[in-house]
Amino acid sequence: MNPLLHLSATQLAAQIRQNQVTSREVVQVHIDHARAHNPQLNAIVMDRYEAALEEADAADRLLAEVGPDNVPQFHGVPCTIKESIQVTGMPHTAGLVSRKALRMTHDASTVARIRKAGGIVIGVTNTSELCMWMETSNKLYGVTNNPYDFERIVGGSSGGEGSIIGSGASPFGLGADVGGSIRMPAFFNGVFGHKPSSNIIPNSGHHPVATRGLSRTLTTGPLCRRAEDLWPLVRLLAGPDGDDLDCVNMLAGDPADVRIADLTVWSIEDNGFLEVDPELRVAQRRAAEALAKLGATVKTASLDKLRNSFELWSATMSAGNSTPFVGLMGGDKGPVNPWTEFVKWSLGHSEHTFPAIALGIGEVLQHVLPMGQDKFVAQAAELRQEMAELLGPKGIFLYPSYTRPAPHHNEPLLRPLDWVYTAIGNVLEMPITQVPLGLSVHGLPLGVQVGAISGNDATTIAVAIALENAFGGWIPPKNLQ
437 pLDDT higher than 90: yes
Q: pLDDT value at position 227? A: 98
The pTM score is: 0.97
Q: pLDDT value at position 479? A: 83
Q: pLDDT value at position 370? A: 56
Q: pLDDT value at position 200? A: 97
* CATH class of domain segment(s) 3-306+378-480: alpha beta
272 pLDDT higher than 70: yes
Residue-wise pLDDT tens digits, 324-366: 888 899 888 889 999 999 999 999 999 999 999 999 998 878 7
Q: Give which of 463, 388, 402 is closest to 194, Cα–Cα.
A: 463
Q: Check: CB of residue 174 under 8 Å from CB of residue 161.
A: yes
Q: pLDDT value at position 261? A: 98
Residue-wise pLDDT tens digits, 14-35: 999 999 999 999 999 999 999 9
Is 181 catalytic? The answer is: yes
| Structural domain boundaries in the chain | 3-306+378-480, 307-376
Q: pLDDT value at position 23? A: 98
Q: pLDDT value at position 371? A: 59
Q: Which residues pair with 125 in a beta bridge?
A: 44, 82
Residue-wise pLDDT tens digits, 366-423: 765 555 788 999 999 999 999 999 999 999 999 999 999 999 999 999 999 999 999 9
Is 82 catalytic? The answer is: yes
321 pLDDT higher than 90: no
Set 84, 157, 163, 401: catalytic member: 157
The lowest-confidence range among 37-51, 178-192, 232-246, 369-383 is: 369-383
Q: What is the mean pLDDT of the chain?
A: 96
Q: pLDDT value at position 332? A: 81
Is 318 catalytic? The answer is: no
280 pLDDT higher than 60: yes
Set 181, 197, 309, 401: catalytic member: 181
Q: pLDDT value at position 176? A: 97
48 pLDDT higher than 80: yes
Q: Rounded mean pLDDT of 94-111?
A: 97
Set 8, 23, 82, 163: catalytic member: 82
Residue-wise pLDDT tens digits, 179-206: 999 999 999 999 999 999 999 999 999 9
Residue-wise pLDDT tens digits, 206-220: 999 877 678 899 999
Q: Check: CB of residue 253 under 8 Å from CB of residue 288.
A: no
Q: Rounded mean pLDDT of 228-244?
A: 97
Q: Rounded mean pLDDT of 244-260?
A: 96
Q: Check: CB of residue 221 under 8 Å from CB of residue 108.
A: no
Q: pLDDT value at position 44? A: 98
